[in-house]
């Protein structure tokens, strides 16, 4: 439908009506807070005609196109059992985590308003991959000889990869949190780190460490890792597979991981495991899950303070900084000093994943609302950048640290955590560190065309990925699990930014940090109702502006607006069409008449509630 046609229909079917407010009771799930608030009882009726802006039509088209693309993708790459049609392997090149990472953003797409078929496909693929990789076994790698999964979870591997595999799981809390199987699993998986599952002694409560870089349902690996542990069993490569890391032979696969040995002791990337317990807490607010997350993240925060503000990348089994690496705080696989040779080129590669610890710091912020976690990471940014030097008149900043001190100097400042800290604090000084363009410029009122540009780019990405599916010549016996990863049509990053005012969580098992979320009470599902588009136009520490529009010129729509991805915030009041309405709740309801819309200026208090995944009915 052309834009002019839509506008004509809006004028025909919408009659101007003033914004109405009514006190109608809503059934909201109980949210534990320090100061208990009453359930929301505010309903806004928006009856002011609004010709649908281009961004609104593009949002609806992106939700439609991405959902339809997921149907095509699933039909091409998954069988009727939900198995990914590929050669099943263990390892850092390719493994179980990549199989389900193919569907990582699908629950999030559904939770934004994607088609129910997206959720149905995801659930089929999730259940299928659990069976597929429980039955899949290695021959040479001891960690997978009895099954790559045990108790439906990786037996023992690192959280670069565990996190990729767990992304779909934590996203599914946004899509179908009341599913009994999901609830059982998230509690069991969290139990692997709370000492509740026999045979999985991953966490040492005395020293507050996860005891190895390799951890999971069979516990930590407490020896040096080998290239075989990482690369998986011997496999034919040349003429059959095109490896994503670029290796041309199994020999090069082993060479890729030949220095990945020092895994004993804790590493910041293990903080990604806190997403399991944080999600389990949000089911019923059992304190043990929140307490463990806060205890573990606080332990890391204190280590940073003891290490000049910088997070160490090895903690010994005795709790000492660098204890398994000769006292070197920067040591270990994926550490500050982890620079290795790329076998197929001979080039040096810096592989420092300390920044994955941000996931845990974000989880602790979400659960407590405390600024101490952002403060600690901000101090690290300042500490690293304080070692800048001048080269040919240009300031250069370090990103790695080894036996000879700081290295990997570039003109770009060390900036891991800058977007997250600015988002958590909403402090002007933190915002000043952000890149000046894109979404940040739009929120600052400096790039009004950004929503249209971003949504058009994402629609182009969906089209390109569908073209790649059509052109893909791989067959199930020449395909590895990560081969289809880049073809997934679930393109959601701009939708997260623009509709939720949130940070796209990526594929690191991060929980969603967002200012608002939506539910369709008529269909009893999360996401924008059919025909509704939303645009978060500004954010501040205690306010936001949000435009809602019903592009459907025939049917009215009803939606619930929630403060935060998990109801962690509180709406104080909402102003629309000159009328200010007190809310004092984490949710309010909006009735949108056909072809109508309005800008809402919202006052709010952030981190006022314990987060929950409960649905508003």
- Domain containing 590 — which CATH number? 2.60.40
Asked if residue 355 and residue 218 are part of one domain, the reply reads yes
Q: Residue 2 — very low, low, confident or very high, per pLDDT cuts 50/70/90?
A: very low
Cα 508 from Cα 613, distance rounded (Å): 20
Report yes or no: 525 and 616 within 8 Å, Cβ to Cβ: no
pLDDT digit string, tens, across residues 457-510: 999 999 999 999 999 999 999 999 999 999 999 999 999 999 999 999 999 999
Q: What number is the average pLDDT over the span 195-212? A: 97
Q: What number is the average pLDDT over the span 277-303? A: 98
φ/ψ (deg, to 5) at 533: -125, 155
339-357 per-residue burial string, b: 16 or more CB within 10 A, e: under 16: bbeebeeeeeeeebbbbbb
Strands 587-592 and 557-563: antiparallel
pLDDT at 35 exceeding the cut of 70: no
Cα 214 from Cα 270, distance rounded (Å): 9
Is residue 374 assigned to a domain?
A: yes
**What is the pLDDT of the chain when averaged over all its residues?**
93
Asked if residue 406 and residue 530 are part of one domain, the reply reads no
Residue ranges of E strands in 361-419: 389-391, 394-396, 400-402, 405-407
pLDDT at 27: 29
Domain-ending residue, one of 420, 441, 456: 420
Any residues with CB less than 8 A from the CB of 429 and at least 6 apart, and which?
none
This prediction has a pTM of 0.93
Is residue 536 assigned to a domain?
A: yes
Residue keyed to tokens 């220095």: 259
pLDDT at 291 exceeding the cut of 70: yes
pLDDT digit string, tens, across residues 54-85: 999 999 999 999 999 999 999 999 999 999 99
Q: Residue 26 — very low, low, confident or very high, per pLDDT cuts 50/70/90?
A: very low
Is residue 297 assigned to a domain?
A: yes
pLDDT at 239: 87
Cα 483 from Cα 476, distance rounded (Å): 11
Asked if residue 399 and residue 292 are part of one domain, the reply reads yes
Cα 482 from Cα 480, distance rounded (Å): 6
Q: What number is the average pLDDT over the span 214-242? A: 95
Q: Report helix, strand and coil shares of the chain as percent, to nearest 5.
A: 40, 20, 45
Is residue 277 assigned to a domain?
A: yes
Is the four-CA dihedral 529, 534, 536, 541 of positive or negative sign? Answer: negative
Range of the domain at 530: 3-52+515-605
Residue 145 or 37, more confident: 145
Asked if residue 415 and residue 294 are part of one domain, the reply reads yes
Number of independent structural domains in the chain:
2
Asked if residue 533 and residue 385 are part of one domain, the reply reads no
pLDDT at 12: 36
pLDDT at 245: 81
Cα 31 from Cα 283, distance rounded (Å): 11
Cα 143 from Cα 395, distance rounded (Å): 46
pLDDT at 24: 29
pLDDT at 23 exceeding the cut of 80: no
pLDDT digit string, tens, across residues 130-165: 999 999 999 999 999 999 999 999 999 999 999 999
Share of the chain above pLDDT 90, in %: 91
pLDDT at 29: 33
Report yes or no: 10 and 51 within 8 Å, Cβ to Cβ: yes
Pull the structure tokens for residue 470. Answer: 């059509």
Is residue 573 assigned to a domain?
A: yes
pLDDT at 485: 95
């Amino acid at each position: 439908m052309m834009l002019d046609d839509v506008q004509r229909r809006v004028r025909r079917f919408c009659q101007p009506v003033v914004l109405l407010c009514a006190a109608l009771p809503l059934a909201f799930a109980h949210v534990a807070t320090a100061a208990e608030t009453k359930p929301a009882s505010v309903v806004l009726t928006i009856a002011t005609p609004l010709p649908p802006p281009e961004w609104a039509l593009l949002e609806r088209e992106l939700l439609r196109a991405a959902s339809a693309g997921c149907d095509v993708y699933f039909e091409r790459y998954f069988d009727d059992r939900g198995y990914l049609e590929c050669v099943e392997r263990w390892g850092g090149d390719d493994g179980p985590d990549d199989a389900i990472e193919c569907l990582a953003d699908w629950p999030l797409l559904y939770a934004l308003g994607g088609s129910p078929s997206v959720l149905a496909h995801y659930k089929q693929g999730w259940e299928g991959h659990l069976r597929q990789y429980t039955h899949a076994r290695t021959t040479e790698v001891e960690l997978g000889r009895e099954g790559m999964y045990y108790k439906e979870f990786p037996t023992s591997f690192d959280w670069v990869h565990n996190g990729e595999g767990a992304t779909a799981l934590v996203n599914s809390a946004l899509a179908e949190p009341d599913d009994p199987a999901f609830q059982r699993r998230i509690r069991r998986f969290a139990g692997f780190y709370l000492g509740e599952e026999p045979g999985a002694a991953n966490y040492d409560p005395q020293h507050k460490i996860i005891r190895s870089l390799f951890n999971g349902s069979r516990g930590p690996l407490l020896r040096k890792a080998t290239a075989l542990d990482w690369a998986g069993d011997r496999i034919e490569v040349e003429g059959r597979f095109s490896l994503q890391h670029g290796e041309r032979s199994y020999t090069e696969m082993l060479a890729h991981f030949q220095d990945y040995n020092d895994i004993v002791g804790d590493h910041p990337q293990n903080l990604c495991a806190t997403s399991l317990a944080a999600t389990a807490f949000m089911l019923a607010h059992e304190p043990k899950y929140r307490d463990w997350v806060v205890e573990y993240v606080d332990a890391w925060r204190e280590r940073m303070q003891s290490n000049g503000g910088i997070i160490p990348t090895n903690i010994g089994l005795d709790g000492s900084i660098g204890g398994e690496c000769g006292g070197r705080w920067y040591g270990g696989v994926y550490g500050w000093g982890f620079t290795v040779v790329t076998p197929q080129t001979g080039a040096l590669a810096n592989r420092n994943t300390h920044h994955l610890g941000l996931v845990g710091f974000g989880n602790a912020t979400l659960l407590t609302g405390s600024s101490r976690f952002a403060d600690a990471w901000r101090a690290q940014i300042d500490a690293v950048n304080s070692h800048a030097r001048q080269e040919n008149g240009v300031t250069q900043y370090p990103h790695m640290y080894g036996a000879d001190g700081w290295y990997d100097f570039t003109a770009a400042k060390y900036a891991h955590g800058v977007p997250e800290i600015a988002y958590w604090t909403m402090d002007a000084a933190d915002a000043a560190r952000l890149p000046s363009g894109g979404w940040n410029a739009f929120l600052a009122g400096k790039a009004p065309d950004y929503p249209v540009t971003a949504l058009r780019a994402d629609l182009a990405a969906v089209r390109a990925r569908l073209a790649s599916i059509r052109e893909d010549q791989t067959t199930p016996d020449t395909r590895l699990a990560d081969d289809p990863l880049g073809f997934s049509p679930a393109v959601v990053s701009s939708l997260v930014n623009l509709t939720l005012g949130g940070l796209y969580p990526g594929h690191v098992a991060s929980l969603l940090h967002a200012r608002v979320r939506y539910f369709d009470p008529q269909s009893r599902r999360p996401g924008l109702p059919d025909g509704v588009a939303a645009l978060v136009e500004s954010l501040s520490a205690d306010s936001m502006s949000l435009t809602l529009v019903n592009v459907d010129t025939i049917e009215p729509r009803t939606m619930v607006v929630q403060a935060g991805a998990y109801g962690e915030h509180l709406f104080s009041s909402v102003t629309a069409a000159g009328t200010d309405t007190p809310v004092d709740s984490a949710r309010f309801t909006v009735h949108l008449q056909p072809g109508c819309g309005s800008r809402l200026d919202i006052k709010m208090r952030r981190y006022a509630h314990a987060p929950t995944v409960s649905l508003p009915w």
